[in-house]
Chains A and B, each alone.
Chain A
């Protein structure tokens, strides 16, 4: 009788385990189906990164590339969103550009999920959400909140020490899955290095003149509300930065350090002919000083712990901008999109034979300065999404 009882409870426990596996397994598998941008009026073609580097075909690192070709010839520009999946203003700016831009001169390439594999999982240890929802023109639309690093299902194990190719620089082992430490990449490297190589191949093949990499960082990180530019891009970055300051956008400009390897603003400038620019905004959901992670924090950019941190002088950015508390997604995307606008204008001024001219993309004023404050935190941004 006793033996029958423990066999019965064992069967029940096993059934419960399998049920949990089925439910959580379905959830994890669904995370591999990523929400994609709707084609805007300027999208002329949607390609895959494997069209430039076939080694990515069939992998979770192969990612869509949206091509917006203008009616008139001109320069070429690449926008990298989603380098880090836990920095939503990067890929949400890319979504907004794809769904609104009309290119008149030149060609713009946009990759919304540069590290696509990183978008297929998240960091539950950070208390991060899997999804967030915005009210858009077509109703509620759900977006992924991903991870900084490639999914370990796609690339593992991490070495104890990550040795960057080709510089030989040594970094923490977990950085081996960070695509912004993998440039210029290599065709026979790990999956993250292959994805980085694919981006570099796209730049080389399409002769991309100007490349943007869109990021966010915690408010207590020194390089924030900042642009980092390769030395070749400094003249246009300086001109663009002055325009941003004149538009009331606080932006610092730093030249890419020569001894910090693997990042877009260093390696893409060194190993291709593009002018590489990286921008950072303030994301409360990434910081060590934050409270509970929530949609209000990720989209609204508000956090009581950061309000206190500012009073204690622990932040590198003001916590109240234009009378608005925190850094809502509209302010962060507005900075990125206005930055792209000003830097590409500076590029066109410096290269009159290769102009990049586009319209229809909301900037800092439309998304933030002139917006009704009660709708900040996702609704204003959503109104520009299909």
Chain B
């Protein structure tokens, strides 16, 4: 159960970061978003 809750939270954060990625106009901030997404995606898929 705790894993499901955790993954839902991770999915929510991925959605918010992804939203920022597409609304952000500065390239450096977009790059930050892209880097933050990597560990979150791997955690959501329970790979790492």
**Please, how many angstroms separate the alpha-carbon atoms of A153 and B6 in the complex?**
12
In order of increasing CB-CB distance, the 4 nearest A-B pairs are A13-B34, A17-B34, A17-B37, A10-B22
For the A-B complex, the count of residue pairs with Cβ-Cβ distances under 8 Å equals: 50
* B47 and A29 within 8 A (CB): yes
Please determine whether A28 and B48 come into contact, CB atoms closer than 8 angstroms.
yes
Closest approach, in angstroms, between the C-beta of B25 and any C-beta of chain A? Answer: 5
Q: Determine, out of A19-27, A204-212, A331-339, the stretch whose residues face the partner at the interface.
A: A19-27
Q: Which residues of B contact A311 (CB under 8 A)?
A: none
B1: Cβ under 8 A from any A Cβ: no
The closest CB in chain B to the CB of A29 belongs to B47
Interface of chain B: mostly helix, strand, loop or mixed: helix
Please give the residue numbers on chain A whose beta carbons come within 8 Å of chain B beta carbons, in ascending order.
Answer: 2, 6-7, 9-10, 13-14, 16-18, 20-21, 24-25, 28-29, 121, 153, 156-157
CB-defined A-B contacts under 8 Å, sample of 30 = A2-B25, A6-B24, A6-B25, A6-B27, A6-B30, A7-B22, A9-B30, A10-B22, A10-B30, A13-B21, A13-B30, A13-B34, A14-B37, A16-B34, A17-B35, A18-B41, A20-B38, A21-B38, A21-B41, A21-B42, A24-B38, A24-B48, A25-B42, A25-B48, A28-B48, A29-B47, A153-B47, A153-B48, A156-B3, A157-B2
List the interface of chain B (C-beta within 8 A of A): 2-3, 18, 21-22, 24-25, 27, 30-31, 33-35, 37-38, 41-42, 45-48
Nearest-neighbor residue (CB-CB) of A32 within chain B: B47
A128: min CB distance to chain B, Å: 15
Chain A residues with CB under 8 A of B35: 17
Q: Which of B3, B33, B42, B45 is in CB contact (< 8 Å) with A13?
A: B33
Q: In the assembled complex, how far is the CB of residue B37 from the closest CB belonging to chain A, in whole angstroms? A: 5
Q: B46 to A14, Cβ gap below 8 A?
A: no
